[in-house]
Amino acid sequence: MKQYFHFFRFVFIGIAVLILVLGAVSAGKAAIGSLGIGERTNTECLTEERVFDYADKLTDKEEAKLRKLIAKREKQIGCDIVLVTLEESLEEYVKPYEEQLGYIYVDEYTTVYADNFYDEHKYGYDVPYGDGAILVDNYAREYDGLRYAAFSTCGKVEYKYSDAMIDHMFDRIFAYEKLGPYAAYKTYINTLYHDMSGMLQFTAYWSLPAILMLSVVVMAIFVLINLIPSKGKKTTTIKTYVADNSMKMNQQSDVFLTKTVTKRRIETSSSSGGGGRSGGGGHHRSSSGRSHGGGSRGR
């Protein structure tokens, strides 16, 4: 038992320290409150819903977790946060708006949809069409073979987000998309929170099963390493039993005989890369004439 506690002493101390840090962080956070952000004042918003999974890419549980996270983050940064997934071409959808907005390029389809969606529901934390952002992720491919996502901003989010920040938002969403839609949308919400609040940029994607699985792997490695049997090492060398000064090289010759040279042509291959197209970020007007920021990106 003594050996057991001795062996795990630093681990137990580490856990105790983390528990203390957790307590301190929780208390500190509670004291600070929600960064001085007031209650939501937009009374005209047509819905309480924030997650519209039309493409059905999220499980009910994931949707519930995202709703909970959005509710928490909205209060922290004072912005509405909306998420929409689609799986339909928007080519026909945007045509009626071309008269008003001019020719709409394929990479702008989702942006038009996002702007309209935001305006139609009168989103905005402070006032209708006010502070907030919306992510529309379309799983259907347009005629150019790409599928687009649009990140549309409004109010203080529009003013905060530069083109570089919009690019960074897409970079992060697409990077975490490899882990699945849930991870990508969690990234969207947390990146928005981090960007708006200036808080530490960290989003944990360690689900409980992943942590448990990793724990089992660590345990297995630990056990296997400690189970490797070792009798002992050989500590004699080829010279251990050589009598002092007894080694004598009577002949030592290395005579060159001949040489051959062969040659081989090296095949070279050329490759070319490709990538998605990027719709420009920045400020624009929606079909209802309201100002939005953001942009879209295909992949």
Partner 1 sequence: MIFTCRNCGGNVVFSPEKQKMYCPYCEGEDCEESTVKPTTVTQCSNCGGEIQINEYTSSSKCSYCGQHIVFDERVTGAYEPQLILPFKIGKEDAKKLMRDTFSKKIFAPDSFLSEVKLNSMEGMYVPFWLYDYDTNYDYEGKGTKVRVWRSGNTEYTETSYYTIQRNMDVAFDKVPVDASFALNDEIMDLMEPYKYGELIDFSPKYMSGFFGEIYNDTADNLESRAKQKAENDAEGLLKSSISGYTTVTPIRKNLRMQKKGTHYTLFPVWLYMYTYRGKTYRYHVNGQTGKVIGTVPVSVAKVCAYGATLAASFATIGLLVRTILEIL
Return the residue of 31, 103, 143, 262 that touches partner 1, per CB under 8 A: 262
Position 271 contacts partner 1 (CB under 8 A): no
Size of the site for partner 1 (CB under 8 A): 70
Q: Are 110 and 55 in contact (CB under 8 A)?
A: no
Q: How far is the CB of 80 from partner 1 (least distance, A)?
A: 21
Class of residue 155 by CB neighbours under 10 A (exposed 0-12, middle 13-18, buried 19+): buried
Contact segment (CB under 8 A) with partner 1 among 91-99, 133-141, 175-183, 206-214 equals 206-214
Q: Out of 21, 46, 71, 140, which residue is the one contacting partner 1 (CB under 8 A)? A: 21
* Residue located via tokens 């320290």: 17
Cα distance between residue 80 and residue 215, in whole Å:
37
What's the rounded Cα separation, in Å, for the pair 182 and 167?
20
Contact flag: residue 241 with partner 1 (CB under 8 A): yes
β-strand 148-154 against 132-138: which pairing, if any? Answer: antiparallel
38 binds partner 1 (CB under 8 A): no
**One residue of 211, 280, 285, 299 binding partner 1 per CB under 8 A:** 211
- Judged by DSSP in three states, 52 sits in strand
Between 229 and 275, whose beta carbon lies closer to partner 1?
Answer: 229
Please choose, from the candidates 282, 292, 295, 73, the residue with its C-alpha nearest in 3D space to the C-alpha of residue 191: 73
Looking at this protein, which amino acid is placed at residue 293? G
- The yes or no reply on residue 270 touching partner 1 (CB under 8 A) is no
Residue with the two structure tokens 């390493």: 225
What CA–CA distance (Å, rounded) separates 62 from 57?
A: 10
**Smallest gap, in angstroms, from Cβ of residue 227 to partner 1?**
6
Q: Which is nearer to partner 1, 65 or 290 (CB)?
A: 65
Check binding of 46 to partner 1 (CB under 8 A).
no
Which residues are at the interface with partner 1 (CB under 8 A)? 3-4, 7-8, 11-12, 14-15, 18-19, 21-22, 25-26, 29, 199-200, 202-204, 206, 208, 211-212, 214-216, 218-219, 222-223, 226-227, 229-236, 238-244, 246-266, 268
